[in-house]
Chains A and B, each alone.
Chain A
Amino acid sequence: MPLLQTHALTRRFPGVLALDQVDFAAESGEVHAVCGANGAGKSTLMNILSGTIRPSSGTISIAGRTVSFASPANALDAGVAIVYQEFSSIAELTVADNIYLGREFRGRFGMVDRRAASEAAADLLHRYGIALAPDTYVGTLSVADRQLVELARALSTDARILILDEPTAVLSLSEQEKLFVVIRTLREKGLLVLYISHRLEEIFAIADRVSVMRDGTLVATREKSTLSSAELVRLMTGREIAGNTVPASVRNDRRTTLTLDGLAEDGTRLELREGQILGLAGLVGAGRTSIAHRIAALRRRDGFSAMLGGIPLPDDPAKALAAGVVYMTEDRKRDGIFGPLAVTANASAASLDRFSLGGFLRLRHERTEAGDVLRGLRLVSASLETPIGSLSGGNQQKVLFARALLSRPKVLICDEPTRGVDVGAKEEIYAVLRRIATEGVAIILISSELNEILALSHHIAVVRHGRISAIMDNVGLDEHALLVAATGAGEYQAAQ
């Protein structure tokens, strides 16, 4: 009998079937990797297992007993603990304090008994072979050690099932090995470790079995020994690759607008011509947004230099914007939309220079121009005065496109332009991107959806560890090839 078993686990979100009839099983004493592309359903599954969200239907059983989690606390009681990518430890407290945070040892008169906590922590750390002193302040620890503190906290709840969500995202290679040593100890102690990752090297290094998810379903569960990395990639991308609709090539008379030096690993210069779409492919956390921010001068550009039309691009964000480099955010809510304000005010926000004269707004001029652009983008809204916050995600994105277009960009950086947008609106946004490009704007497209990158880009740059590791012409490429490049699976095979 497997330690953990799910039956027909399903989770619906509005408009999306995030998890579809998943029957997943895992044994105690194994490291079980769960992998899949972005949006495959890994996180949804783990969130259900850890009690963060509830399934729409289906059941979970642990050691043969059916369980139902109303909250993460329920899951902890049943022996399921999760360690997230983000750290939640408190730097000003000691290792022991952090491990027993919220569950402090009580001594006489209800006072916190720190000595008892320290002794218990020492015992726990020793048992699992974690080399940390319980009385060290967490703030003085390295990133890897802080991760171990998180791990120890999860273990202190007597968990039988430990979920690690992208645990190495923030670790260097040597730190990673330290973590793996601990994970192997956990396996010997009979724990089930669910290991979420999309880095193939790691999966092959640590896992006993691998489950692959795709589009909300569990595609396969395999013994690592029977799996090759090429096979794993094929399972992750799944569908036989359809004919790749390569965009029309850029006309030869287009001039180079943006040149970037020092961004590629091999030191080559990156040139972007007018009308060209450059796709940035890479895994979440590979540093695509960081590259976009640095080009647009939203953070320090250390390490590379950018020229626009032969002139160095200013490293002040407002000046870079004025020069024609426009960054469209990946997080509309956080730093994109002005929620309570009208559609027009949202659209004109980056071009008030043009819509004002001597400090006074030219309201009619603003209305006409914004209206024209928004009409071209087929905005659906009750009126131009409607607060943007009440529009759908796709329409909000169109208004952000209008903002970018009104500022007359030379280079437009679109970071995940179709995130949180429904399927119909996606197609419209693709059409907009193609049209903007034919009008002579150079576009840098960041997307986690490989098919999106393949359908739109003339060239594709693969980003790993914050640098560009390869640039490819989008000819004869498919998702498989991109995923191999993005995960480094090719290198793994070469090393074998």
Chain B
Amino acid sequence: MSTMTDSLWRPTRLPSLEEAAVWIVLAALLLLAGLTSDAFFKLNYLTNLVRQAAPVGITAVGVTFVMLLRGVDLSVGAIVSMSAVACALVMDGKPENLWLGILAASACGALIGLANGILIAHGKVSSFIMTLGMSIVVYGLVQMGTGGTARGIVSPGFRETLNSRIGGVLPVLVICLLVAVSFGVFLQSRTRFGRSAYLIGANPEAARLAGLPVNRVTVIAYIVSGLFAGLGGLALLARTGVSGTNPGAGMEFDVLAAVVLGGATFAGGRGSVGGTFAGVMVLFIALNLANVAGMPFAAQLIIKGLIIIAASAAHSWIGSRSGGRS
């Protein structure tokens, strides 16, 4: 360490092991995948993999902000369901309702997020209990809306456009995911909201002393989480069509797994949207490899669970080794 030399003003530095970990795992998995299967590095295969990951990936971007703030959002699976169902119902197969449907889906997500945020920030309800309860409420609402059967028809052109490939190569859904991730990265590193989320998550008491609007930022984070889950629901609707009344069931766990893989912790202040994206890819490639290896769905579930536990353990191990953490 040198005193006030020019090195202090060097704009970049190498990422820490903590930040790089998920990318290293991703690279290793890609290598493994390439070795086990010739088909893997075919463009079609790869883009298809990313396309599959779009609903989870888009949703995970929003949840990252909640996790930065020491929170968790277990209601995103339910929001995805509600968004998909609401969108199909509003569109009702009419082309003129296309944008109305998209708007309805986004609004559903944002409103549920708002309710979560207000009760967590001002009502001091624990985020775990709040969003768990909210997910049950939302599933109930979805059942009421559908009457228990798959209903609603998307507008013509909705699925066709989102499932097409630009130039016959690049799927539109992949672009949607990349846009969502880029927007998330921007929100995280270029806006006051993103910075505040990191500060409050890292040390809420210090943030209060520094005059940061802790409650407002918390509410916004849950709105962002809900909104991205709404968009994730649209992506799922595009991919699978109107399938059942609860298409997002259990998705919150995939999302949580990806975000934790990406470096976020329940202690807050750590993680990033970029890391989350890498985490999503690790999760999907791992499951894909398991699938290729002919493992049954049940075994894949076990792998998913183990990934969450291993990632979390690895992060605390790296964190304790690098020290400097209260």
User: On chain B, which size bracket covers the interface?
Assistant: 35 or more
Query: B192: which A residues are within 8 A, CB to CB?
Result: 352, 356, 359-361
- Considering the complex, give the chain B residue whose CB is closest to the CB of A377: B4
Contact indicator B323/A390 (Cβ below 8 Å): yes
Q: How far is the CB of B107 from chain A (nearest CB, A)?
A: 21
In the complex, A181 has a CB within 8 A of chain B: no
In the complex, A254 has a CB within 8 A of chain B: no
Main secondary structure of the interface of A (DSSP, over half): mixed
Contacting residues of chain A (353-396) with chain B, CB-CB under 8 angstroms: 356, 359-361, 363, 367, 371, 374-375, 378-387, 389-390
Interface residue from B211, B269, B326 paired with A341 (Cβ < 8 Å): B269
Contact indicator B3/A336 (Cβ below 8 Å): no
Q: How far is the CB of B8 from chain A (nearest CB, A)?
A: 6
User: Which stretch, B44-52, B150-158, B202-210, touches the partner chain A?
Assistant: B202-210
Q: How far is the CB of A372 from chain B (nearest CB, A)?
A: 10
Knowing A335-B203, A383-B7, say if A350 contacts B191 (CB, 8 Å): no
Knowing A340-B270, A360-B191, A384-B9, say if A352 contacts B326 (CB, 8 Å): no
Query: A390: which B residues are within 8 A, CB to CB?
Result: 322-324
Contact indicator A335/B211 (Cβ below 8 Å): no
Query: A352: which B residues are within 8 A, CB to CB?
Result: 192, 195-196, 212
Q: Residue among B7, B9, B206, B212 with the most chain A CB within 10 A?
A: B206
Contact indicator B206/A335 (Cβ below 8 Å): yes
In the complex, B311 has a CB within 8 A of chain A: no
Contact indicator A403/B4 (Cβ below 8 Å): no
Kindly state the separation between the CA atoms of A387 and B203 in the bound complex, as whole angstroms. Answer: 13
Pick 15 A–B contacts, CB within 8 A, sort by A.
A321-B210, A334-B206, A335-B205, A335-B208, A337-B203, A339-B202, A339-B203, A340-B202, A341-B269, A352-B192, A352-B195, A352-B212, A361-B191, A383-B7, A390-B322
A-B contact count (CB 8 A): 118
Kindly state the separation between the CA atoms of A470 and B67 in the bound complex, as whole angstroms. Answer: 50
Interface residue from A318, A361, A385 paired with B195 (Cβ < 8 Å): A361
Contacting residues of chain A (285-337) with chain B, CB-CB under 8 angstroms: 298, 317-318, 321-322, 327, 329, 333-337
Contact indicator A371/B8 (Cβ below 8 Å): yes
Query: A154: which B residues are within 8 A, CB to CB?
Result: none
Kindly state the separation between the CA atoms of A337 and B202 in the bound complex, as whole angstroms. Answer: 9
Interface residue from A318, A339, A360, A383 paired with B10 (Cβ < 8 Å): A383
Kindly state the separation between the CA atoms of A363 and B270 in the bound complex, as whole angstroms. Answer: 20
In the complex, B42 has a CB within 8 A of chain A: no
Contacting residues of chain B (193-249) with chain A, CB-CB under 8 angstroms: 193-196, 198-199, 202-203, 205-213
In the complex, A345 has a CB within 8 A of chain B: yes
- Considering the complex, give the chain A residue whose CB is closest to the CB of B7: A383
Query: B212: which A residues are within 8 A, CB to CB?
Result: 318, 349, 352
- Considering the complex, give the chain B residue whose CB is closest to the CB of A374: B8
In the complex, A128 has a CB within 8 A of chain B: no
Knowing A339-B324, A356-B192, A390-B324, say if A381 contacts B206 (CB, 8 Å): no
In the complex, B190 has a CB within 8 A of chain A: yes
Q: How far is the CB of A328 from chain B (nearest CB, A)?
A: 9
Interface residue from B2, B12, B198 paired with A338 (Cβ < 8 Å): B198
Contact indicator A381/B190 (Cβ below 8 Å): no
In the complex, B166 has a CB within 8 A of chain A: no
Kindly state the separation between the CA atoms of A387 and B211 in the bound complex, as whole angstroms. Answer: 21
Contact indicator A389/B324 (Cβ below 8 Å): yes
Query: A356: which B residues are within 8 A, CB to CB?
Result: 191-192
Query: A318: which B residues are within 8 A, CB to CB?
Result: 211-213
Q: How far is the CB of A367 from chain B (nearest CB, A)?
A: 8
Query: A327: which B residues are within 8 A, CB to CB?
Result: 209
- Considering the complex, give the chain B residue whose CB is closest to the CB of A343: B8
Q: What 1/0 flags go to B314-326 for Cβ under 8 Å of A? A: 0000000011111
Interface residue from B4, B211, B323, B325 paired with A380 (Cβ < 8 Å): B4
Kindly state the separation between the CA atoms of A322 and B213 in the bound complex, as whole angstroms. Answer: 13
Query: A349: which B residues are within 8 A, CB to CB?
Result: 199, 206-207, 210, 212
Contact indicator A363/B203 (Cβ below 8 Å): no
- Considering the complex, give the chain B residue whose CB is closest to the CB of A381: B8
- Considering the complex, give the chain B residue whose CB is closest to the CB of A357: B192
Q: Residue among B191, B199, B213 with the most chain A CB within 10 A?
A: B199
Contact indicator A381/B202 (Cβ below 8 Å): no
Q: How far is the CB of B41 from chain A (nearest CB, A)?
A: 35
Contact indicator A317/B208 (Cβ below 8 Å): yes
Q: What 1/0 flags go to B284-326 for Cβ under 8 Å of A? A: 0000000000000000000000000000000000000011111
